[in-house]
Amino acid sequence: MYDLAIIGGGPGGYVAAERAGAAGLKVVLFEKKSLGGVCLNEGCIPTKTLLYSAKVYNYAVNGDHYGVYVKDPAYKYEEFVSRKDKVVRKLVGGIKAAMKGFKVEVVNESAMIQGRSAEGITVSAAGTDYVARNLLVCSGSEAVVPPFPGLKEAGDVIVTNREILALKEQPKELVVIGGGVIGMEFAAFYSTLGTKVTVVEMLPKILGPLDDEISTMLQGIYAKRGINFCLRCKVTGIEGNTVVYEDPEGKVCRVSGDKILVSVGRRANLQGFGLENLGVEMTLNKAGRPVGIKVDEKMRTNIPGVYAAGDVTGFSMLAHTASREGEVAVNNILGKADRMRYNAIPGVVYTNPEVAGVGLTEGEAKAKGIDFTVVKLPMAYSGRFVAENEGGEGICKIIVGKKYREVLGVHMLGNPCSEILAAACIAIEGEMTLEQLKEVVFPHPTVSEIIKETAFSLK
How many residues in the shown chain lie near ligand NAI by CB under 6 A? 24
Binding of residue 243 to ligand NAI (CB under 6 A) = no
User: Is the CB of 120 or the CB of 178 nearer to ligand NAI?
Assistant: 178
Q: Cα 274 to the chain's mean position, in Å?
A: 27
Binding of residue 97 to ligand NAI (CB under 6 A) = no
Q: Cα 439 to the chain's mean position, in Å?
A: 32
User: Is the CB of 143 or the CB of 398 nearer to ligand NAI?
Assistant: 143
Binding of residue 189 to ligand NAI (CB under 6 A) = no
d(CA 268, CA 277): 18
Strands 27-30 and 105-107: parallel
Binding of residue 84 to ligand NAI (CB under 6 A) = no
- The secondary structure of residue 247, as a DSSP letter, is -
Which DSSP string corresponds to 97-152?
HHHHHTTPEEE-S--EEEEE-SS-EEEEETTEEEEEEEEEE---EEE-----TTTT
Closest contact distance (angstroms) between CB of 432 and ligand NAI is 24
Stretch that binds ligand NAI, among 8-16, 181-189, 274-282, 379-387 (CB under 6 A): 181-189
Binding of residue 244 to ligand NAI (CB under 6 A) = no
Amino acid of residue 123? V
Binding of residue 170 to ligand NAI (CB under 6 A) = no
Binding of residue 177 to ligand NAI (CB under 6 A) = yes
Which DSSP string corresponds to 179-204?
-SHHHHHHHHHHHHTT-EEEEE-SSS
In sequence order, which ranges of 256-390 are alpha helices (DSSP H)?
Answer: 319-333, 362-367, 383-388
User: Is the CB of 267 or the CB of 384 nearer to ligand NAI?
Assistant: 267
Stretch that binds ligand NAI, among 259-267, 300-308, 324-332, 393-401 (CB under 6 A): 259-267
204-223: which residues touch ligand NAI (CB under 6 A)? 208
CB neighbourhood size of 249 (10 A): 7
d(CA 399, CA 385): 22
Please identify which residue in 56, 68, 203, 422 interacts with ligand NAI, judged by CB under 6 A.
203
User: Is the CB of 25 or the CB of 356 nearer to ligand NAI?
Assistant: 356
Our CA angle for 327, 310, 355, nearest 5°, is 100
Which residues are CB-contacts of 438 (< 8 A; sequence separation ≥ 6)?
Answer: 452, 455, 456
Binding of residue 140 to ligand NAI (CB under 6 A) = no
Please identify which residue in 18, 201, 325, 327 interacts with ligand NAI, judged by CB under 6 A.
201
d(CA 123, CA 134): 11
- Classified as helix, coil or strand, 239 is strand
Q: Cα 172 to the chain's mean position, in Å?
A: 26
Binding of residue 150 to ligand NAI (CB under 6 A) = no
Binding of residue 263 to ligand NAI (CB under 6 A) = yes
Amino acid of residue 452? K
Catalytic residue selected from 65, 320, 411, 444: 444
Please identify which residue in 84, 266, 300, 397 interacts with ligand NAI, judged by CB under 6 A.
266
Binding of residue 174 to ligand NAI (CB under 6 A) = no
Please identify which residue in 157, 348, 395, 432 interacts with ligand NAI, judged by CB under 6 A.
348
Give me the half-sphere count of Cα atoms (radius 13 Å) on the Cβ side of residue 119.
Answer: 10
Closest contact distance (angstroms) between CB of 383 and ligand NAI is 28
The answer to whether 320 is a known catalytic residue is: no
User: Is the CB of 320 or the CB of 405 nearer to ligand NAI?
Assistant: 320
Please identify which residue in 20, 157, 317, 421 interacts with ligand NAI, judged by CB under 6 A.
317
- Classified as helix, coil or strand, 436 is helix
Stretch that binds ligand NAI, among 8-16, 194-202, 212-220, 431-439 (CB under 6 A): 194-202
Binding of residue 146 to ligand NAI (CB under 6 A) = yes
| Distances in whole angstroms, Cα of residue 151 to Cα of each of 37, 175, 241, 242, 296 | 27, 14, 10, 10, 38
Binding of residue 164 to ligand NAI (CB under 6 A) = no
42-81: which residues touch ligand NAI (CB under 6 A)? none
Binding of residue 179 to ligand NAI (CB under 6 A) = yes
CB neighbourhood size of 444 (10 A): 11
Cα-trace Rg, the chain: 23
Binding of residue 158 to ligand NAI (CB under 6 A) = no
d(CA 58, CA 222): 14
Nearest to 348 by CA among 377, 320, 315: 320
Binding of residue 27 to ligand NAI (CB under 6 A) = no
User: Is the CB of 130 or the CB of 148 nearer to ligand NAI?
Assistant: 148
Give me the half-sphere count of Cα atoms (radius 13 Å) on the Cβ side of residue 256.
Answer: 5
Nearest to 214 by CA among 358, 414, 375, 438: 414
Binding of residue 183 to ligand NAI (CB under 6 A) = yes
Residues that bind ligand NAI (CB under 6 A): 146, 177-183, 185, 200-203, 208, 235, 263-266, 317-318, 348-350
- Which residues carry out catalysis? 444
